Amino acid sequence: MKNIIKILAVTGLLSLSSCEGFLDVEPTNSGDSTTAIKTPDDAKIIMSGVMRRLTSSSYYGRDFIMYGDAKGGDMTIYSAGRGNDALYTFNHNPNANAYSGFWTSAYNTLMQINNLLESIDKIKAEGSTENFDNYKGQALTTRALIYFDLVRLYGKPYNLDKSALGVPNITSTLPANAQPNRDKVEDNYNQILADLKAAETLLPKTKTNGFLNYYGNKAIQARVNLFMERYADALAAAEDVINNGGYTLYTPANWVESWTKQFGSESIFELGMFPNEGDLGTASLGFYLRRRAHGASTALGWFGASDYFLNRLGQDPTDVRWGVMAADEISTNANPRLGSLYKYSGNTTLAGDGKSTATAVNIKVIRSSEMYLIAAEAALQTGNAEKAATYLNAIRRRAPGLEAATAATVSMDMILDERSKELFGEGHRFFDMIRLNKTITFNDEIIGTIINLRPKSIDRTYFKTILPISIGEINANPGMATQQNPGY
């Protein structure tokens, strides 16, 4: 198993592979940080490889998104033992089910980013007049996104204990004997904001499919500031995207169909997935969420909607978001249950999003609908209930049977419910519940057995709401033995 020391000590760039069409660059298999990066086209190839790494099954390709939904109470499992149960049962310890792939995948990618940034700085110092701003901005923004994900996985919530341990802040390549310690949660967030602010003026405002631009950066700033409860900053960043980004919300009539399209009008940051070029196939997110045996006997129906989520969506039977839900394996004619999610299969007939396989469906990391929901929450928290209701209603109209929110009726619970319905299957629910200090209750009754590995209901005081540092990492860096997360 690779560990952080091996990852960060490497001074050459790891092998990179390109995606024809998605990357729009000539393929490359390897490079050296001191010689390969000479032109902006070289930097583009490296960033293409970085984007590919984000689509790993250990990251946005599956597990990170599943982490946010399986742990957040909006999903359940239909049977134990099908795979990835630990995400639902919280069966984590340093020796097993530590999900160390998050750590390894993230720090592998950070190594490439740090190499790229150092190479750009070196070339510029040597007198190059070529413009690397876009790729430097992309690298800094991606580094911020990765650290934001890492600190939420391994550190306590910022608004609970920002002095608690987060993850090592690594912003440069390290020597082979380096053994970095964990930094504080506050230090992680400060680095995240510093990277985002340094990057925003470097990035173009035009949209480039599959990559981050200025508005992708601002959208991440909106997320980060929301988690830090810097609501005025969150609102300003979200409104910049909404008012100036050129992203258009899908109408209720075309919301369902949008999942069969690539890089649509709401897509701020979308990762390309392509047949035979990183397509995860039967390990893909869409395959894990579809009904058991749908399209293939190897589809096991790993995760589905909980009763709690279905009751929430059922507040309006005409909600257009029912259109990406289909009958699950426990549905019957007498008791129909639309518990299977098909966002990442394109639609309920496995149409995909325009490619030759229904498993190579792009991952929509940031959509503009999220910006409206962030703006609604941040406006409410800063005392502007009228603005909060306006932003919430822009999304709430996808449920035409519900009354519009007003300045008198809009509430955090209403906004949180709308986040659940709109962002279901996109990896947000757990992190929302934890940052807002909500109790998460799990729909264990569907399994027909008691889950003994965690309580039926948890809140953020439960120690397993953050992951352990894996034993492999501790063995490679013994200093981390004294920095293990409490309870493990």
pLDDT single digits (tens) 29-55:
334 444 578 999 999 999 999 999 999
**pLDDT tens, position by position, 60-109:** 999 999 999 999 999 999 998 898 999 999 999 999 999 999 999 999 99
Three-class secondary structure of residue 230 per DSSP? coil
Q: CA 45 to CA 132: how far, in whole Å?
A: 13
Range of the domain at 80: 37-174+182-203
Q: In this predicted structure, what is the pLDDT of residue 357?
A: 94
Q: CA 274 to CA 34: how far, in whole Å?
A: 31
Output the six-digit token pair for 41. Answer: 């086209």
> By the 8 A CB rule, do 192 and 184 touch?
no
Residue 296 inside a domain? The answer is no
Alpha helices in 245-367 (DSSP H): 255-258, 285-289, 307-313
Q: CA 201 to CA 37: how far, in whole Å?
A: 22
**pLDDT tens, position by position, 281-303:** 999 999 999 999 999 999 999 99
| Cα-trace Rg, the chain | 22
Tell me the whole-structure pTM to 2 decimals.
Answer: 0.93
Which residues lie below 8 Å from residue 368, measured CB to CB, with a gap of 6+? 241, 242, 245, 247, 248, 249, 265, 266, 267, 268
> What are the angstrom distances between the C-alpha of 292 and each of 125, 412, 445?
57, 35, 19
Q: CA 203 to CA 133: how far, in whole Å?
A: 7
Give the chain's mean pLDDT.
92
Residue 124 inside a domain? The answer is yes
Going residue by residue through the chain (488 aa), what tens digit of pLDDT does each one get? 334 443 443 333 333 333 333 223 332 333 444 457 899 999 999 999 999 999 999 999 999 999 999 999 999 999 988 989 999 999 999 999 999 999 999 999 999 999 999 999 999 999 999 999 999 999 999 999 999 999 999 999 999 999 999 999 999 998 878 889 999 999 999 999 999 999 999 999 999 999 999 999 999 999 999 999 999 999 999 999 999 999 999 999 999 999 999 999 999 999 999 998 879 999 999 999 999 999 999 999 999 999 999 999 999 999 999 999 999 999 999 999 999 999 999 999 999 999 999 999 999 999 999 999 999 999 999 999 999 999 999 999 999 999 999 999 999 999 999 999 999 999 999 999 999 999 999 999 998 888 999 999 999 999 999 999 999 999 999 989 999 999 99
Residue 96 inside a domain? The answer is yes
Q: The domain spanning residue 143 has which CATH number?
A: 1.25.40.390
What single DSSP character describes residue 281? G
Residue 248 inside a domain? The answer is no
> What are the angstrom distances between the C-alpha of 79 and each of 9, 92, 334, 447?
42, 19, 21, 5
> What are the angstrom distances between the C-alpha of 208 and each of 215, 221, 346?
11, 19, 22
Residue 282 inside a domain? The answer is no
Three-class secondary structure of residue 439 per DSSP? coil
Which residues lie below 8 Å from residue 407, measured CB to CB, with a gap of 6+? 385, 386, 388, 389
Three-class secondary structure of residue 363 per DSSP? strand
Q: Where in 378-469 does DSSP place strands (E)?
A: 440-441, 457-458
Residue 143 inside a domain? The answer is yes
Q: In this predicted structure, what is the pLDDT of residue 35?
A: 54
Alpha helices in 177-213 (DSSP H): 185-200
Residue 431 inside a domain? The answer is no
Domain tally for the chain?
A: 1
Residue 448 inside a domain? The answer is no
